[in-house]
Amino acid sequence: MGKQETSINFLEQFLPHGAFEQVAPFFKTNTIHLTITHERKSVLGDYRHPVPDAPFHRISINANLNPYSFLITLLHELAHMFTFQHFQHKAPPHGKEWKTQFRHILIPFMGKRFFPGDVEKALYAYLHNPAASTCTDADLYKALYRYDEHKPGFKLVDEVGINQLFETEDGQVYQKIEKLRTRHKCKNIINGKVYLFQGIAEVKAVRKQMSA
């Protein structure tokens, strides 16, 4: 899917049921150009402030996000917009000013069944110190991941059993050998070296397992 300039009504299909009515006023009181774009590996969304050649707020969001991730990302980028309106270039991208705006804009969406219970529980914890990306909070990332559309056989390293094999995006095969506090020791079955993997890394399960 290429970039697509989005009307306010088109936005509804990407959001959780009922959330559109609460989101729409942001677009009625601010001049925002919203773009729905193809998946980007490095970012889920992006905000650009007005400039002379484009005197309006610009937000882009990945089209492949599930409705709950999409709403959180949209609110994340709107918080950047409000931070810019209040502080211009004086506030860092994800500093205390942005954190305050993000909490202020997200909390009214809580407790209204826009999010599943597990996602909302993780969101409440995340709001104590929101970060640049939901990917940096393992509990929130895993809660949102449950609602993604997955290709058959793909899972998180956290979900791979001890001694089971998995394949990474580059075709390398590893055996998970030990779970640490936040990471996992995994052995490359070709070179025998041990590597540390984050639990939220997505990998492909390998059916054939190592013999005892």
Query: What are the residue ranges spanned by the domains of the chain?
Result: 4-145, 154-206
pLDDT at 208 over 90: no
Tokens of 42: 């490095």
Structure-token match 């390293």, residue found: 157
pLDDT confidence of residue 136: 82
- Asked whether 20 and 12 are in contact (CB, 8 A), the reply is yes
Instruction: Report pTM.
Output: 0.88
Q: Whole-angstrom Cα distance, residue 127 to residue 111? A: 14
Q: Whole-angstrom Cα distance, residue 34 to residue 5? A: 6
Name the more confident of 137 and 4. 137
- Of 5-9, 72-76, 120-124, the one with minimum mean pLDDT is 5-9
Averaged pLDDT for residues 156-182:
95
75-91 pLDDT, tens digit per residue, is 999 999 999 999 999 99
Decide if domain 154-206 falls under CATH 3.40.109.10: no
pLDDT at 2 over 50: no
H or E element: which one contains 204?
strand 202-206
